[in-house]
Amino acid sequence: MKFTKQREALAKKIFSTRSHFSAQDIYESLKDRVQISRATVYRTLNLLVENHIIEEHDFGRGKKFYEFILGLESHNHLICLRCGKIEEFKSDLIEKVVDEIARERNFKVSRYSFNVYGYCSECQKELFKDEKRK
Amino acid sequence: MKFTKQREALAKKIFSTRSHFSAQDIYESLKDRVQISRATVYRTLNLLVENHIIEEHDFGRGKKFYEFILGLESHNHLICLRCGKIEEFKSDLIEKVVDEIARERNFKVSRYSFNVYGYCSECQKELFKDEKRK
DNA sequence: ATTTGTGCAAAACGTTTGCAAGGCG
DNA sequence: CGCCTTGCAAACGTTTTGCACAAAT
């Protein structure tokens, strides 16, 4: 495993980003500072996913989102359908549900995703305003 | 909203299919019996999703899966990473977790998806065999 | 007659890949 | 030096779209 400038730049970026990002986000934010191609971004992200350094999510928006997870607690997501904001939340109950269903069905769990889609508090206000305007 | 042979065929197919299917699955199963194009399949599936007759899922396999939901209870999914089988399960606890987090965060929930990825009981056996072969 | 839906082909989109060239160990 | 990584461009698979034609109301 070689340590290239591309990998260095990508790693720095990812370690310093707390939020969720797409391959394109990473490419955009690096391309002016380092010589890097989309192909390298995709390849490196896949490597990081395989090594459980980042996690891949599908929020139903036609592209993958990634999130740094190394050493962090697992959590679930609230996705706003209007502004796209992603909030996180934890729930011990969810873990229990997963364990229980795994036992019941004799299913060996690798991972799970729990995504709640709807409208964040700010966007609810905006939607209400829109409603009045009509 | 017009009632065409294409829509009739597609509706019949969907009403009689209990499992999860992709746009391609539908197209394949209809194309020899009715004159229909991929474009129409996609357009019609999107219409049905908008009208809450079917539900769209992303199981992280690079394409969308659909499922008939009209009048059916909502449920969650176990997805086998080896054979692709999709099992369903219900959980009242999940509903409670969703309600609770929605209240806490003042989030207006439209829908949620809870997917558990791993290996079904049959595939666990196969994996065990593979292991011994090595 | 007036919509609305359809088929076709092309385009869009995110992602992967083959290959030759470059750079790390 | 050898092998791994890179960039480029092409290929990929799925889904969307523009447009002219067809069909339902």
- Assess contact for B66 and B57: CB atoms under 8 A: yes
In chain A, residues under CATH classification 1.10.10.10 are 1-72
- Assess contact for A67 and A77: CB atoms under 8 A: no
In words, the CATH class of domain A1-72 is: mainly alpha
How many angstroms separate the CA of residue A79 from the nearest CA in chain B? 9
- Could you tell me the pLDDT band of residue B51, with boundaries at 50, 70 and 90? very high
- Could you tell me the pLDDT band of residue A128, with boundaries at 50, 70 and 90? confident
Chain B residues in contact with A98 (beta carbon < 8 A): 116
- Which strand C nucleotides have any atom less than 7 A from protein CB atoms? 4-9, 13-18, 23-25
pLDDT in tens, B68-93: 999 999 999 999 988 889 999 999 99
pLDDT at A131: 76
Return the CATH number of the domain spanning residue range A73-134. Answer: 3.30.1490.190
In chain B, residues under CATH classification 3.30.1490.190 are 73-134
pLDDT at B69: 95
| Whole-structure pTM value | 0.91
- Assess contact for B60 and B16: CB atoms under 8 A: no
pLDDT at A100: 96
Residues in CB range of A66: below 8 A, 6 or more apart? A14, A20, A21, A22, A23, A26, A45, A48, A49, A54, A55, A56, A57
Residues in CB range of A29: below 8 A, 6 or more apart? A13
